[in-house]
């Protein structure tokens, strides 16, 4: 819910905008002064790479006997890609003439990180606190690395990447809940 709220605030603020905001400029300065990430990181947010990694995650989930997570591995990143692609022209924020908000690369990387974390949590079955940390690490690690790389290369404003991150978190977690409820309903119907 918080992810949707943050996304909504930034979407409203930067709709039909093509300039860096105050927050964007501050974060951009911090990123430019920090260590540079290799351009290779950005490849992990490309649509083809996201699809390949999603299929690999789905295959791993199936091999480990987790069919629901296999479905989520495809649905979560897929719907994140559809959402970011659809929202860009609606919101209308641009950078160098191309639609920028929300960042699809950050969304894709974050979605994969969340799914990978959920698979790890399902396999390890840690305590609730540890599960929350693993989930946060998956989202922040993958999405954060992508965001830093995109901002450092001036492909996106920082707030564009935050928007993509929020879309991914909201989309993947909502998809996970829908898949779980759907599976539970099917299970109950079989038992009756």
Q: Is residue 100 part of a domain?
A: yes
The answer to the question of residue 122 being in a domain is yes
Instruction: Report yes or no on 130 lying in a domain.
Output: yes
Does any domain span residue 66? yes
Residue 36 placed within a domain: no
- As for how many domains the chain has, the answer is 1
Confidence band for 9, pLDDT divided at 50, 70 and 90:
confident
Range of the domain at 131: 2-14+45-191
Instruction: Read off the tokens for 26.
Output: 């501050």
Q: What is the pLDDT of residue 83?
A: 95
Q: What pLDDT is stored for residue 32 in this prediction?
A: 65
Q: What is the mean pLDDT of the chain?
A: 87
pLDDT digits (tens, 9 = 90+) for 57-103: 999 999 999 999 999 999 999 999 999 999 999 988 888 888 888 99
Q: 126-146 pLDDT, tens per residue?
A: 888 898 999 999 999 999 999
Question: For residue 79, is it within any domain?
Answer: yes
Mean pLDDT (whole number) for 155-171: 92
pLDDT band at 19 (very low <50, low <70, confident <90, very high): confident
For residue 95, tell me if it sits in a domain. yes
Inform me whether the pLDDT recorded for 148 exceeds 90.
Answer: no
Answer whether residue 64 is part of any domain: yes
Q: Which of 90, 80, 97 is nearest to 15 (CA)?
A: 90
């Amino acid at each position: 819910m918080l992810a949707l709220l943050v996304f909504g605030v930034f979407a409203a603020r930067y709709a039909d905008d093509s300039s860096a905001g105050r927050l964007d400029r501050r974060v951009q300065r911090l990123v430019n002064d920090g260590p540079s990430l290799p351009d290779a990181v950005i490849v992990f947010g490309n649509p083809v790479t996201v699809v390949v990694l999603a299929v690999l995650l789905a295959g791993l989930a199936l091999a480990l006997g987790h069919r629901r997570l296999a479905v989520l591995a495809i649905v979560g990143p897929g719907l994140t890609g559809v959402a970011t692609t659809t929202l860009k022209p609606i919101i209308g924020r641009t950078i160098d003439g191309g639609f920028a908000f929300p960042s699809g690369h950050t969304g894709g990387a974050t979605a994969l990180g969340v799914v990978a974390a959920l698979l790890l949590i399902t396999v390890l079955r840690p305590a609730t606190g540890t599960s929350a940390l693993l989930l946060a690490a998956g989202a922040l690690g993958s999405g954060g690395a992508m965001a830093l790389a995109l901002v450092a290369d001036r492909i996106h404003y920082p707030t564009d990447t935050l928007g993509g991150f929020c879309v991914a978190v909201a989309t993947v977690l909502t998809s996970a809940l829908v898949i779980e409820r759907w599976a539970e309903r099917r299970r109950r119907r079989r038992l009756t």
